Each structure stands twice: as structure tokens, then as C-alpha cells.
Amino acid sequence: MKNEKDIKKTMGNTGEFGFIDKIRESLKSKNPSVTLGIGDDAAIFKPTPGHELVFTTDMLVEGRHFDFKLITPWQLGAKTMAVNISDCAAMGAKPTVAVVSLGVPKNFPVADLEAFYDGMKSWGESFGAQIVGGDTVGSDQFVVNIAMIGEVESGRALKRSGAQVGDALFVTGTLGDSAAGLHALQNPSAKGKEITSILIKRHLTPVPRFNSGRHLATNRLATSAIDISDGLSSEVHHLCGESGVGAEVHEEGVPLSASLLHYCEENKLNPLDFALHGGEDYELLFTVPLNKISEVVQKLAGETGVACKAIGRMVPKAKGITLISKKAQRVPLESKGFDHFSKKG
Amino acid sequence: MKNEKDIKKTMGNTGEFGFIDKIRESLKSKNPSVTLGIGDDAAIFKPTPGHELVFTTDMLVEGRHFDFKLITPWQLGAKTMAVNISDCAAMGAKPTVAVVSLGVPKNFPVADLEAFYDGMKSWGESFGAQIVGGDTVGSDQFVVNIAMIGEVESGRALKRSGAQVGDALFVTGTLGDSAAGLHALQNPSAKGKEITSILIKRHLTPVPRFNSGRHLATNRLATSAIDISDGLSSEVHHLCGESGVGAEVHEEGVPLSASLLHYCEENKLNPLDFALHGGEDYELLFTVPLNKISEVVQKLAGETGVACKAIGRMVPKAKGITLISKKAQRVPLESKGFDHFSKKG
């Protein structure tokens, strides 16, 4: 329990070095491949022979990506870590080490920053990612950046560029829950209270599809993969763009949770809008060649504990990217993914 | 040459994806160990067998670390890259790959962002660091974070923690120039115009001591090392803290450039204040065992093109950290390094 004196501590009176000293002990590495953790000009680690490394980074900015009225510091820490782990998962890689940069307003309570670190540490360690360093500076808005390294057996990484015409298009889990959770958070008078906590949890503390990504990569089941951060429609466009193919997505195939359907019915909303364009699902979108489909359908869910569903197939580029409705109507699937510059004021 | 249409483009009307497409071609990797560059969920690279990896990150925030009235976007790009390369150099490592996160205000001109990338790319490639990915988001202040990976022969990394009692304490180059350059930028009426450009250049586009760090590591000449980002006094404290020793620093040994001395004389300033506490020198501070001193003195400057100078020696921890004046007076060397929380509003 924090005493009153602790609660009154802010970054303004504790300072960067004071804070680093405070958290350093709790972040001591248990990973034998980390030769040197926090406290030097850089961390040192030994890569595993026979592996390639993946390297990713994500920045989240207060007021754009999150609002401390809607998310706790602990949850934000967990989510920031999840976003980066999801990128590793989309490559089929195991996350190994991460560095964390923070821009922190002067009046930010040190206790909140410790909770934020607890969230990062907890979510990171669950998936094998160790915080080995970082930078903490002053700023007007709270800004967090994580850069993460993961390892994948050489030649097995899942890229966006490998999809072939004829491959089936799959997604893990269900889509749209996170966006509906955000909708519920932003609309306290929305109906369906009995199921909103499930949706809100999917928005605030998403679980990256680590096992799914690893299973697909180590068993060479997918020709391409991407994680759904900006929304399904946007990610289908990215995958097609990198692979030089088109796609047909069947509306009927898009996996929707019972919670999403219920919430949308109660509030007269279209669940497909959330599922196609909502974003922040952190599910995996991937392509599977014909001769591997039965193996994916039979084994992926059982081995990983996360369902997967075929939602369409890859077609020649000239055919474009099409959404096929339940009534077999074909319309272009427009990319309406989240773009922080075009969407915000 | 930019045409008028290009100049009017801002991040608000170009968007994240539009900008990524724009810079992607120019950042294509020439490094054969980079299997996959910008454009996927993560980059992929192959580490060199027999090496350990170092991993570092630095965040710079507009209004705290830089002011666009005093630094151009190109210079800021070069400097941000230099800061990270300096961390690698302080570990004795070669920088290899970097990811860049940017928080960019909506009205920021795309042409300025391209210049910023040019600066990063130019400085990075000079030292072997390739930009392989990143994240670009909207924010109120301009924020840049670079995370960088470097390689060092296994077991050769220079840590802060290896200094022994009796080791000599060395620095590369001269100290205080960068802080004096900042002083000149902030005081347009300061005297000594004929030499301020040298000081300003050291502040805006510092050259990381890559060759010095590599020479010390590969020849096992140093027991510890750190780069001087916060100021000599602060870094001596860090080195002593991590190594569990004290230090004596001789005022007479501290290397001061002719430009700094002239600028301080003209403006009635104390050059030692800049040299001890100014920061952003990005010189290396390192310790050398007695039996290696002659080799360092005779060879380091010749092999690397950068001078080095002994400024003191390491003593038992109980003796503390002392500054010895030209008149042989002993005073505690207080740590007055730059701390963004305690120093700023």
C-alpha cells in the first residue's frame, strides 16, 4: 500500500534518475540471454543461434490513442506492451527484449508511473518480453514508445508479402469487440451493460495472438500474416498491396462475438461497421494455401486455444478487393482504417 | 527542388500511410543482413554470429530537448541519430539497425519531415545504422524516439560497471563546446561571433565517438565507459555508482577547446561550468588500467583521429568523488547533470 507521502510524489519532484533507481530493482532480468539490463548506455543480450530477429516499435500519445479518463495507467502499460507483442506475433516471432521511452508531464504521480510499469511488466513477462532499458523525459502530453525485439527460426517469419492467388484468408478470434468496447466507454448511457465489460476488456487489455502466430510460423502453415490494429478493411488492403493480389471477403464469414451482436442490437448499431473498420482487435489476419487449410481448421484452435475462421480468398490483383454480402452482392471493400492524422482534429 | 504544391503538404492532409509510402523507397536497405525493411509488422535481420547485441533508445521532445527556432529539421534528424549511435559507441558496439517513432503535429510540413528523415539517414548511414521501420502518429508536440541495435564481439562490450580503484580516467575530445554553442544560440547578442559557429555545430550536429569506442572495445583497453550526454560531473557519478568506486578529477586535466576559452573570455563566463556540467558533448568517458595507459596515450588518437586525455583516477568508494583545483584544493564534485524534470518548468 502506498502511503500519503508516496502518493504526493510527482515526476517533477522525483526526477528521471530518481525514478529509474526506483524501478530498476523490480525489472532485474531473469532471462539468461540478457547479459546486461537497465542502467547502462545500452542493454546487452545474446541472440539465439539459428534465429532471425524481428524489430518493431509503437508510439502511443495521450489524447490521440488513449484518455486517462477511460484507461488506468496499469491497463495502458499492459496495452502498450500487447500492441508490440502483437507485431511480433504477426511475424511468427517470440518477443524477447523491449526498451521503453516515456514522455511524462511534470505533475504526473510517481505511483501512477509505477502502476504503468507494473502493467507493462506483467503483460510482457506473460509472453516472454523483458524490459531491458529505456528513456524517461519530460513532456506536455504523456507519450509512450516501446521498441521490441523478437526471435523467429531462420526463414520462418510470416511476412505481409507472401499471399498467393487461391490462398484462403483467415482471421483469429472475433472482430469489432474492441471498437464496440471503446464506443461503450465513450457513451456511458449506451444500453447492454450486462455485456459491455467483455467488450471494454478487449479494448483496454487486448491479448496478443502469440500462440497462433508461433503455431503458423513453426508449422509453415501461412503464406502471409498481419495483425489487425487499424481495422480489417485496412489490413486486407495492406496484405493485398504487399503481396500484389486482390481479395474477396465474405460478410457472412466475418466472426462476430455474441457480445458484439447483443450490444449492437441494444443500441441500434451495425456490428459489421465495428468488425470491418473498428480497429485495435489485435487478431491475426493470414493466408493459407489450399493444401494446408484442413490442417489449420483442424489444429490451430486446438493447439492455441483461439478460434480461427476463413473469411475469404485471394484473387488476381486486377479483380480488386471485394466484399460479398449475405445476399451475394459484390461491393468494393473500402479501406477505412484508423489514421491518426486524417481522423483527428 | 520542391514545388509549391509539395511545400503546402502537411501531415494533416498527407496522413501516416501517405508519408510512409513517400519515404519507403528512399530507405530501402543496402545492408545484406537486413532481410526485411520498412513496410511489415516488424523488420527482420540476421545477427552476426559471435556477437552480442546492444539495445538502446532515446526520446527527444520539442520544447524540452530542442527548439525549431534554433535547429533545422535536418539537423534534428542527424542529432537524434547521433545520440543513439553515441550510446552504441559507449558500449564499444557498431550500430546496425534502428526504428524511428515520430509524434508529429497536424500542421507540420511534409517537406520538413522529409528533411528530418534525410538528416537521420545521412548520419545513420555514415556509421552503419540502417532505418528499418518505425511508427508515425499525431501529437501536439513534435516527439522523436529512436531505438537502435548494435553489435559487439562477444564479451568485449564496455560497461559502466568495470572501473577499478587505480584505473586512470580519460575523456575523448574537448568538453563544454556543445553547451557553449547552445548558450550562443540562445543569446544572439553574445560576443565572439568569429568562433561561435564551431561551438554551435558541436551542439546541433554532434559526431558520436564511434571509432574511439570500437578501438577501446576490440583492443580491450578500457575497464568501463559511458558517453557524456548529461555533463561530465553527472557521468562521473554514474560511472562511480555502477562500479562501486570513487574518483578524483583534476580541473587542470579537463580538455577545453580554444573556441570555448575564447567565447567564455569574450562573454565573461566560466569555461569550467560548461565543461563540467553542460552536457550534450557526446564524448566518451572511460577508465584504463595502469598497464594499458601508454597504449591508449600512444595509439587511440592516431587510430581514431580523436584526441583523448587523462583527467583523473579512480579511488576507493569511501573517498567519494572529488574535484582537485589548479591550486590543489579538493572539493566534492557535485553532479549537476541535465535532468529534464528538475531543470524545466
Q: What is the pLDDT of residue A101?
A: 96
User: pLDDT tens across B238-286, in order?
Assistant: 999 999 999 999 999 999 999 999 999 999 999 999 999 999 999 999 9
Distance, in Å, from the CA atom of A259 to the CA atom of A174, rounded to the nearest integer, reads 10
pLDDT at B158 over 70: yes
Secondary structure (3-state) at B166 = coil
A40 and B15 in contact by Cβ < 8 A? Answer: no
B14 and A154 in contact by Cβ < 8 A? Answer: no
A16 and B341 in contact by Cβ < 8 A? Answer: yes
- B83 Cβ neighbours under 8 A, 6+ residues apart: B58, B60, B146, B206, B208, B229, B282
Note whether A226 contacts B: Cβ–Cβ < 8 A.
yes
Question: Which residues on B lie below 8 Å from A137 (Cβ)?
Answer: 59-61, 64-65, 340
Which residue on chain A is closest to B49 by alpha carbon?
A49
pLDDT at A342 over 70: no
Partner residues linked to A168 by β-bridges: A288, A313
User: pLDDT tens across B299-327, in order?
Assistant: 999 999 999 999 999 999 999 999 999 99
B41 and A137 in contact by Cβ < 8 A? Answer: no
Closest partner residue to B57 among A54, A133, A138, by Cβ? A133
Which residue on chain B is closest to A46 by alpha carbon?
B52
User: pLDDT tens across A307-341, in order?
Assistant: 999 999 999 999 999 999 999 999 999 998 655 45
Q: What is the mean pLDDT of chain B?
A: 91
Q: What is the pLDDT of residue A338?
A: 54
The amino acid occupying position A204 is L
User: pLDDT tens across B69-100, in order?
Assistant: 999 999 999 999 999 999 999 999 999 999 99
Note whether B35 contacts A: Cβ–Cβ < 8 A.
yes
Question: Which residues on A lie below 8 Å from B37 (Cβ)?
Answer: none
CA–CA distance from A273 to each of A233, A251, A286, A334, B144 (Å)? 10, 11, 21, 12, 34
CA–CA distance from A340 to each of A32, A110, A230, B334 (Å)? 39, 29, 10, 45
- Please give the residue that has the higher pLDDT: either A97 or A27: A97
- Please give the residue that has the higher pLDDT: either B300 or B20: B300
Q: What is the pLDDT of residue B7?
A: 46
The end-to-end CA distance of chain A, in Å, is 40
Helix H, strand E, coil C: the string for chain A is CCCHHHHHCEHHHHHHHHHHHHHHHHHCCCCCCEEECCCCCCEEECCCCCEEEEEEEEEEEECCCECCCCCCHHHHHHHHHHHHHHHHHHCCCEEEEEEEEEEECCCCEHHHHHHHHHHHHHHHHHCCCEEEEEEEEECCCCEEEEEEEEEEECCCCCCHHHCCCCCEEEEECCCCHHHHHHHHHHCCCCCCHHHHHHHHHHHHCCCCCHHHHHHHHHCCCCCEEEECCCCHHHHHHHHHHHHCCEEEEEHHHCCCCHHHHHHHHHCCCCHHHHHHHCCCCCCEEEEECHHHHHHHHHHHHHHHCCCEEEEEEEECHHHCEEEECCCCCEEECCCCCCCHHHHCC
Q: What is the pLDDT of residue A336?
A: 82
For residue A185 the three cell numbers come to: 466507454
Q: Which domains does chain B have, with CATH numbers?
A: 4-153 (3.30.1330.10), 160-337 (3.90.650.10)
User: pLDDT tens across A273-318, in order?
Assistant: 999 999 999 999 999 999 999 999 999 999 998 999 999 999 999 9
The band of B27, judged by pLDDT with boundaries at 50, 70 and 90, is confident
Report pTM: 0.91
Instruction: Residue window 76-105, chain A: list those with CB within 8 Å of chain B.
Output: 86-88, 90-91, 93, 97, 99-104
User: pLDDT tens across B181-210, in order?
Assistant: 999 999 989 998 888 999 999 999 999 999
Note whether A21 contacts B: Cβ–Cβ < 8 A.
no
Q: What is the ipTM of this complex?
A: 0.90
User: pLDDT tens across A6-41, in order?
Assistant: 446 887 777 776 777 777 777 776 778 888 888 888
Note whether A242 contacts B: Cβ–Cβ < 8 A.
yes
- Residues A310, A301 contacting (CB under 8 angstroms): no
Mutate to test the interface with A, among B20, B40, B86, B146 (most CBs of A within 10 A): B40
Percent of all residues in chain A with a pLDDT value above 70, rounded to a whole number: 94
Separation in Å, CA of B268 to nearest CA in chain A: 32
Distance, in Å, from the CA atom of B298 to the CA atom of B288, rounded to the nearest integer, reads 13
Closest partner residue to B59 among A17, A135, A340, by Cβ? A135
User: pLDDT tens across B103-149, in order?
Assistant: 999 999 999 999 999 999 999 999 999 999 999 999 999 999 999 99
Neighbours of A137 (CB within 10 A): 23
A150 and B49 in contact by Cβ < 8 A? Answer: no
Q: Please state the rounded mean pLDDT for residues A116-121.
A: 96
Note whether A31 contacts B: Cβ–Cβ < 8 A.
no
Q: What is the mean pLDDT of chain A?
A: 91
Separation in Å, CA of A326 to nearest CA in chain B: 31
